[in-house]
Structures are given as structure tokens and as C-alpha cells.
Structure 1
Amino acid sequence: MKRQTDGNPILPWALLAIPVLWLSALLATGYEDGMTLFDLMGRFNLLMERPFALHWTPHTLKFLLVGLALYGCAAALYFSTKENRRPGEEHGSARWGSVRQLCAKYRDKDPFQNTLLTQNLRMGLNGKKHRRNLLQIVIGGSGAGKTRFFCKPNLMQANCSFLVTDPKGEMLRAVAPLLIQKGYVIKVFDLIDPAHSDSFNPFPYIKDDKDAMKLVNNLIKNTTPKNASSNDPFWESATRSLAVASQRTGSRFLLPG
């Protein structure tokens, strides 16, 4: 259905002002001093017999101004009470979007400063420009291509820092050489093969006994089963003391149990 539009609303009102001015001038022609409105209306039929017999009188300017004022009030009243009924959109205005238009609107001119949404649609990383959220969720069954067709291409853009959960290690093997070539520093946290995992050494951050006690308490708390209960706190206190002393002296120790 072709959408209807109102066009330019000023032109019809401007054209209607011409008969208003003509009628005002015609009434001014038949007006005489001392006449009332009813007397003037009584002469209206007589004036209409010669509608174009207009001439300038001392009252013509006043009639023209009054006529324009009344006409302006009528136009203002019309536009102030006019409702936007959106003709042609009674059943909605939604339409199918164009991938080309969306890409031109949201993409960054630098091809590597985009997140790849599909093969032909991308969105720039600068959210302040397009005012859209960059958070995304990809849902698909096993083998649907979530990793191959979405994660890997975006990692290969190499346009920001990445935090990747990679249970199988396939993305590390596939993308790590490219990222290293582009200057990335890759850190790996591997609980299955600790020999190939990065680690963290907390000892350089220990400055006094209070820091050492915090570390020991965290170790004991996170290695103790949830429902475990100790009736004799001697061994736990001894473990803390031994661990703190070993940290302060720099010697190696094994926690009992």
C-alpha cells in the first residue's frame, strides 16, 4: 500500500488567504460609517451581485487586517488540534531491513576496527558513534559454527584485548600464532596441563606478617572441604604458624594432610 502524505500544508492555506482578502475588501466596499454587523450582512447579497466591483475605501485596510487576523486564528487552531494519524501506517510501519544500509550505518571505516556479526554485517567498536551496545550472545547447537564462523574471525581482527574460554584448546592452536605475530602477549591458564599454564607468584607482594597471614588463611580456607569441622584447632593453628614462618624465611614446606 502506498503511504499517503499531507504534502506541503502551507501552500493550501496560502491559497485560501486570497478569497479571504477578496471577501474582506468586498465587505469594506459596502461598509459605511455607523453600520452594524447585521446591517452589513443585509447588504451582502447586494454586494455579491457585483463581486469584483472593488475599490479602496478608508475602511479597506481595517477589514483586510481583521480578515487576516481571523484567518490566522483559524489556521492556528487547526494546526494546534490536528492529530497525527499516520495515514498509510494503520497496520504498522515495520519493514525488512537492508544489510547494506545497516552496515553502512554502524560499521567503522577502518575494516579492522569492527566486530564481525555476519559475512556482510559488521559494527564498529566505538559505541559512542553509533550508540549501540556491543554485547552479543551467540546461541547454537554443537557443530553449528559458533567457534569457526564467529569467534575465530573476530579474534583474527586483533583489534582489542581478549579473554577467551577455550576448553578444547582449539582456538589457542588456531589463533595464537597470528596474535603473537601481531604483538599480543598471550597468557594461558590450564588446569589440565599445569606445565603449559601461566602461574602467579604471590610472594613478591608479601611485605609483612599480616600479608603472609592473609595468604595462608586463603590457602587453608580454599583447601578445606565445605562441611569439614575441626574439634581441635591445634593442627590448624600450627599449620598457620609453620606456613607464615616458612614464608618469612623463604624455606620450602608442605602443608600437612
Structure 2
Amino acid sequence: MSFDNILVTHDDGVTTITINRPPFNLATPGLIDDLMAAFDELEGRDETRAIVLRGAGERAFCAGADIGHEKGPAGEGRGLRDAGRALVERIEMFPKVIIAAIRGWCIGGGTGIAWPCDIRIASDTAKFRAGDVYLGIIPSWSVGMVRLVNYLGRNRTLDLLLLGEDISAERALELGIVSRVVPDAAFEAEVDRVAKRLASGAPMPIRAIKEAVRAQCREGFDRAALLEEAWAQKIFASQDAKEGLGAFMEKRKPVFTGK
């Protein structure tokens, strides 16, 4: 795979997508197109079991949208908003686990890319900001005003969006924005460890858990319960279930095939 705005590399079951627009890795329609195309290819790549999404360099994961691309028809920026919403939906709906590896600034559209990821690992250098109201605009990729209350709750969402202050990695961990914070010197090793662990899991259960948790937020308790039983019938009859239980009894590492 070759793209203008991202780099894609593979290491066993882990694929890394690097936003390659340093130093700030600003979001543009071209970047979003590349990310969407990469996800399309990786969904069908059986060897890819987990994806790491990161920014090039150390200054930023993604420091927001490129202002030069904000203006759309009638000055409304609708094209970039629609593209951003489609990317957020793709990340949330993606059947494989996605890990955001966040170093440096993560601002505006960058938070829209990072926060919907399944696991979010931050270097202690990471800083977050959702200060749209102090630019006279609103967050418009269906994260801050649509999903964030499900991630954080009403009060924390209002604090974050209305105050619009810089959030340290440690504060982000307290809020639940990130899964863990790692000293920068240990950041690469921890991202690699977590990604390889997730890549070693059984693909069907990972997909099932993502679908059911998403359903709890978007469709409610009853839909999640139906998904749980539908997936349970399929998974408990799968080859991977037999392999996992057999490996446990035999005290060996399981080899999952996704079947």
C-alpha cells in the first residue's frame, strides 16, 4: 500500500498506520481519504489482527484540521465535516482492534481521530485540547457533541468542551480519555507490547465485544443482549474456541485462525 499522507507497515499481526504530515500531522481531506482507503484494505487483510494509529515525529499525533481546508461551499466547511464524520464512523465500526498511540499534541480533529479508537495509549508528553468555542466554532466530527458524553459522562464532557483548556496526559487518564499513560522513554515498547497482545487474541470475540459495547451506547441494553447471544452461539461452536480451551488445558499458547 502506498499513500501520499500516511505510511503503512506490517509486523506479524500488527499493522501500523502513521499520519505522515509532520511536524503537526494536520488533517486534510487527502489525509482522511488515505486513512479510509487503508482501513478498507486492512479489513480484508487476514494477517492484520490489530492496528496502531499514530503520528509521525514527536510533536503531535494530530494537531487538528489544516485551516486552509476548512472552508467549503458557502464557507461552511461541509466537505471536511462529512469526511471527518465518515472517518470517525469507520474507526468505531471497524471489526479489528485499533490502538491510538498518542505522543505530543492531540487537538481538535486529532481528538476526533484518537478518542474513538478502542485503546488509547499516551506518552507522558501528550497534550489534548478541545477548545473549539474559543475559535468561534464547534466540534463537528460527531465526537465531542455526539459520542463524548457516552465516553466520559455529562459533567466531564461539559467541563472539557466548555473550558477548552489544555489537558495533560495524566489528567486525560483521570478523565478516561486515554487507557494508560507511559513515560516517553518506554512509550514505543509499551505500544508494541499492547499491540502484539491484542493481535494474539481471537478475532471473532474481539469483533463481538466491539459490536456489543458499541450497541450499548448507540442502541441500548436490549440490542446488546441480543448481540451477546447471537455471537455466543457462533463463537462457542468455532474452531478458535476449541483451540483456546484446548491450549489452556495443555498449558500452551493458542493459535487462532479467526474460524
TM-score normalized with structure 2 length: 0.20
Structure showing the higher strand proportion among its residues: 2
Over alpha carbons, which structure has the higher Rg?
1
